[in-house]
Amino acid sequence: MIGRLIAAYRAVHPDLRKPGLLALTVSLSGPTLGLARLVTGGATKLRPGVELERRQIPGPGSAAGVGVLIYRPAGRRLPSPVVLWVHGGGFVFGTPQADHARCSAYADELGAVIVSVDYRLAPEAPFPAGLDDIDAALRWVRASAGELQLDPERLILAGASAGAGLVASMAQLARDRGDPAPLLQLLIYPMLDDRTALLRDHAGRGWFGWTPRSNRFGWSSYLGRAPVEDAPPYAAAARAEDLAGLPPAWIGIGDIDLFQPEAATYAARLDAAGVPCELVVVSGAYHGFDTVDAKAAVSRRFVAQQHEAMRQALATWDPAAG
C-alpha cells in the first residue's frame, strides 16, 4: 500500500507535488459526507469588476425553485454570450459559490454572462433531480434571454467533474428533444461512466482528489443503488449508444485522474460519430488539480486552454447558420 502510494506520488507533475497532496487520498463515504460539504462549500474570491446576482427560478415540474448565480462582466457587449455552468462534487457535495473565482474569471475573460446552477444533490435527491434542475435552468436562460440581454444562440454548456457529466447528459437530452444546439460542451475531468465504479484495477489512477471508493459512493448515491450493468437513460452520459448530432466538445483531464480512461473513450466515440472533439490530457495531473493548486503553472495553462476553447467557439459562431 505504502509502496503504491509513493509510486503514485512520483507520477504527479512536479508543479503539483506538495506535502498536502497526501491529504487528497482520503475517500468519501456516508459518515464523512457532512464534513466534505462543510469543507468544500465556502465561497471563493470573486474577480473585481464582475457583478454577482442570486436568483430563484422556476423548478422542474412541481418541484421547488432552482437557485442560480449570475455573473456579469463590466462593460459587456449586448446581447451577451452565455455560459451555463454546473459545479462538481461527485453528485453529492459542492456549491455554486465555491466556483466564484472560476465563474467570474470566465465572465471577465470571455465578456460573457455565466449562469451557475445550484442543483439538488444526492443522496437526498438522486437521479434525475440534478439533471432536471440543469434542464430547468437551461430552459429559463433561453426563455429569459431578452430580460437578461443575452444571445441564446451564443450559448455554451460547461461543467467540472460530476457537473461535466451532467452537462454531457444535458447535451444528449437537448439533442433528443430537438432543442437548439449549444456552441460547445466544455467537459472538465468529466464523471461520465458509472461502470468505472465496477472496476477493480485502475492502473495506478485515482490516488488523489477522487478515489475509486469515493467514486462508488458518488455513483451509488446518485443512482439510488450501487452501480450495476445497466442505468437509466441520461443517468450516465457514457452509456448513450448514439453520440451523433451532439455539440462540439472540449474535454480536459489529467492522465492520473481516475476518469481519464472514460474521458478518452468518450472523446474517441464523439470523434467517430462525427462530433468535433478536442481532448487535452495533462501529464501528471490528478482530479481537480487546477482548483487544488490553482497557482501552479500547469494549472494556469489548463485554465487558459478552457478560456481559449470557449473563446474560439464564440468567435466561430455563424449568425447565418445559427
Q: Give dist(CA 135, CA 138) in Å, integer.
A: 5
Q: What is the pLDDT of residues 91-144, one digit of tens each?
A: 999 999 999 999 999 999 999 999 999 999 999 999 999 999 999 999 999 999
Q: How confident is the model at residue 5 (pLDDT cuts 50, 70, 90)?
A: confident
Q: What whole-number percentage of the chain has pLDDT above 70? A: 97
Burial class for 200, CB neighbours closer than 10 Å (0-12, 13-18, 19+): exposed
Q: What are the catalytic residues?
A: 161, 257, 287
Q: Specify the pLDDT at position 68.
A: 98
Q: Give dist(CA 96, CA 56) in Å, integer.
A: 13
Nearest to 88, CA basis, from 155, 10, 38, 161: 161
Q: Give dist(CA 226, CA 217) in Å, integer.
A: 8
Cis omega (within 30 of 0) for bond into 79: yes
Q: Specify the pLDDT at position 322.
A: 45
Q: What is the pLDDT of residues 215-261, one digit of tens each?
A: 999 999 999 999 998 999 999 999 999 999 999 999 999 999 999 99
Q: To the nearest whole number, what is the mean pLDDT of the chain? A: 95
Q: Give dist(CA 248, CA 275) in Å, integer.
A: 6
Buried b (16+ CB within 10 A) or exposed e, 248-264: bbbbbbbbbbbbbbbbe
Mean pLDDT of 4-10: 89
Nearest to 155, CA basis, from 133, 177, 124, 185: 185
Cis omega (within 30 of 0) for bond into 128: yes
Q: Would you state the cell numbers that stand for residue 105, as one nine-digit string?
A: 474569471
- 3-state secondary structure (DSSP) of residue 20: helix
Nearest to 253, CA basis, from 297, 277, 276, 283: 283
Q: How confident is the model at residue 190 (pLDDT cuts 50, 70, 90)?
A: very high
Q: Give dist(CA 302, CA 118) in Å, integer.
A: 25
Q: Specify the pLDDT at position 20.
A: 85
Domain positions in the chain are 2-315
Q: What is the pLDDT of residues 14-51, one digit of tens each?
A: 999 988 888 889 899 999 999 999 999 999 999 999 99
Q: Specify the pLDDT at position 318.
A: 55
Domain 2-315 CATH assignment equals 3.40.50.880:
no
For the entire predicted model, the pTM comes to 0.96
Q: Specify the pLDDT at position 4.
A: 87
